[in-house]
Each structure stands twice: as C-alpha cells, then as structure tokens.
Amino acid sequence: MENQIADPNTGEILTMEQLLEAYERAKEATAQARQAEDRYKLAILAQMRLNDATAIPSETYICQSKPNPSKPDQTRLRALFEEMNEQDLAHCYRQEVIKEVVEPAHFKTTETKAACMRNGGRQKQIYESAVIQGEPTLIFKRRETKEQDDA
C-alpha cells in the first residue's frame, strides 16, 4: 500500500505521486508569478526613468525607486595589474580565500578606488571605466488607511 498524505491546502488525501505532482504545479505557478512580477517591476522602473522620477504618485500605494550604489566590474579592474606598483596591489587586491565557500580573488573596492584616484592617470581611467551602475530597488507597499487604523 502506497503512503498517503493530506493535501496541506485542501485536506484531500493524496498519494505521494499526487503530492509530488501538486508540488511541481505550485513551483511552476510560483515561477510564472515571479516572471510577471519582474515584468511589472521593469515597466514601473521604465516609467519612472521616462518621467525622470523616483516615485509614482498614488493615494493607495507607496511606490519609490531607491538607487543601488554603483560598483566596479572586477573583470575590467584586472588591467590594474599592469598599472599598479606592488605596494598598491598588495593593499588593494585580495587573494582567493577558502572558507566554507570559496571567495574568489578580487580587488577591494574602497582601497582600489583610493589608490587609483591618488595615482591618477591610466589607473583612474581604468577604475572609472570599470564602474557600473547598480539596478535600482523598487519599494512598494499599500498605504495604511484610516479604516485599517480604526479596525
């Protein structure tokens, strides 16, 4: 006899195979919902950019974009190996570290920016060309209403 379990949503008795099939359908529905959410988010952010705005006025919702900081692309910073002296490289470049997870070798952003700005010239150009703008975060929630406060 096959194991049976109650569906956590309906209480209906399911076989293990039916439970797995229901889980697969739920995962698929969740993925589709996430894709739809991402498309709406991109449309909202595009509308904000088009209007040169950081928020959309609404009496019902709070909808704002919050910029994420820009950061340099580590691949583009590799040109600094040929431009920096050994002392600056030792200060700015972190070798690969193995903890529970491998942390790949990378340039430490704060130290690298400081060294490149101090040394100027080609190093400064490399750093500035490596900087990429972070994707903005969308802050979205329903406003509290008087009716909700009274309840």
Q: Residue 18 has which token pair? A: 């039916």
Please write the tens of the pLDDT for every residue from 26-84: 999 999 999 999 999 999 999 999 999 999 999 999 999 998 888 888 899 999 989 99
Q: Which of 30, 31, 6 is nearest to 19 (CA)?
A: 6
Predicted local distance difference test score (pLDDT) of residue 37: 95
Band (pLDDT 50/70/90 cuts) for residue 124 is very high
Confidence at 25, pLDDT banded by 50, 70, 90? very high
CA–CA distance, 116 with 28 (Å, rounded to integer): 48
**What pLDDT is recorded for position 148?**
57
| E-only strand ranges, 3-150 | 4-6, 13-15, 61-66, 71-72, 93-94, 97-98, 102-103, 106-107, 131-132, 137-142
Distance of CA 101 to the CA centre of its chain: 20
Give the pLDDT band of residue 150 (cuts 50, 70, 90): low
Average pLDDT value for residue range 10-33: 93
Matching residue, tokens 């569906």: 7
Token pair for 124: 């400064």
Element housing 35 (H / E): helix 16-50
Does position 1 have pLDDT exceeding 50, yes or no?
no
Q: Please compute Rg for the chain using Cα positions.
A: 25
